Amino acid sequence: MSQSFTADGALAQTDNSQKIRVFVTGGGGNIGSYFARNSAQNFQITLLDRSLDKLREKGLDEFANIVEGDICDIEFLKNAFQNHDVVLHLAGDPSPNATWSSVRDTNISGTYNTFVAAKAAGCSRVIFASSIHAISGYPADVQVKTSDPANPGDLYGVSKVFGEAMARYMAIQEGISAICIRIGAFQPVEKAMDESALSLLDGFVSERDLNHLIECAIRVQNVKFAVVHGLSESRFKRMDITDTRELLGYAPQDSFTKLNPALKALNLDENVQSHSMADEGQKSGIREEVS
């Protein structure tokens, strides 16, 4: 855990005293749209997309200021980020099959531009949407901790590892707070309730859980740099979320193993042993000494 974050004070302390101004790149995407609709009462939000029509068609101008632009234009970003506290960087090519030219221009150059422009505009924090693909190169039976080295399984994952490295550089060397969220399979709870969705078992993160995590990352104080994992509270998780809880105060509500009908009937939380003395009502080995 010590390798995955740096802090300047007590952890999981939040600031609710003012309406934080949040600029969202990729605001027309699924995560940005959900954030705008569900967090507009908590933050002053600006959404950026390449097309204003896309934002208007989704009715997002009802919840946020909307701006048209391209993250490949660093001078535009420097001006757009003015008078904002936090940049939530969601923009990029999200395909695991993305080619080098796409991840280079959008995911790598665009991420560089975002961090530098945020620093130039005086923003206090950048929240970078990393991905489970940053560690998907590990064998499927490995639960990855934030302190484990990045291990991307595709070029998309490589671009996310670059973003995490850029975030650490900007935080430690340039003094702007940066939090990277490795996002799992972002889906509505209805998707988890589909019996055919078992492929999401170890990577599921519900819309409301991820949105809660983003809000935690926006509000948390004292965290200078962190890489955290964004998954829901399922019995089996590809990525460990211990640090996410402790650093940001994250408290997920949804569980794939409780939502999915094929797994819910198995009652895995109770029937799968945790290999602790509590499994079968065993007593502590020090009970006599502490009584």
pLDDT at 280 > cutoff 90:
no
Q: Are 129 and 89 in contact (CB under 8 A)?
A: yes
pLDDT of residue 269: 72
> What three-state secondary structure class fits 284?
coil
Contacts of 163 (CB under 8 A, 6+ apart): 89, 107, 108, 111, 128, 130, 180
Residue 2 pLDDT more than 60? no
Q: What is the pTM of this model?
A: 0.90
Tell me the average pLDDT across 24-44. 98
pLDDT of residue 91: 98
Q: Could you tell me the two tokens for 45?
A: 């939000």
Query: Residue 246: pLDDT above 80?
Result: yes
CATH number for the domain formed by residue range(s) 5-260:
3.40.50.720
Within 13 A of 166's CA, how many CA atoms are on the CB side? 25
Question: pLDDT tens digits for 189-212?
Answer: 999 999 888 899 999 999 999 999
Strand pairing category for 86-89 and 220-221 = unpaired
Whole-number Cα distances in Å, 180 to 31, 61, 63, 259, 261? 15, 27, 25, 27, 32
At residue 139, the pLDDT reads 97
Residue 222 has which token pair?
Answer: 């004292």
How much is the mean pLDDT over the chain? 91
Average pLDDT over residues 27-54: 97
67 burial level (CB within 10 Å; 0-12, 13-18, 19+) = middle
pLDDT at 17 exceeding the cut of 60? no
Among 135-139, 156-160, 271-275, where is mean pLDDT lowest? 271-275
**pLDDT bucket at 267, cuts 50 / 70 / 90:** confident
For the stretch 140-158, pLDDT in tens is 999 999 999 999 999 999 9
What's 108's DSSP letter?
A: I
**Averaged pLDDT for residues 244-255:** 96
Q: Is the pLDDT of residue 7 over 80?
A: no
pLDDT band at 279 (very low <50, low <70, confident <90, very high): low
Cα–Cα distance measured from residue 214 to residue 226, given in angstroms and rounded to the nearest whole number: 13
203-237 pLDDT tens trace: 999 999 999 999 999 999 999 999 999 999 988 89
Flag whether pLDDT at 1 surpasses 80: no
Give the residue from 190, 195, 181, 197 showing the smallest Cα distance to 254. Answer: 190
Query: Has residue 271 got a pLDDT over 80?
Result: no
* Tokens standing for residue 286: 């020090």
CA distances from 187 to 59, 206, 275 (A): 20, 5, 31
Domain ranges of the chain: 5-260
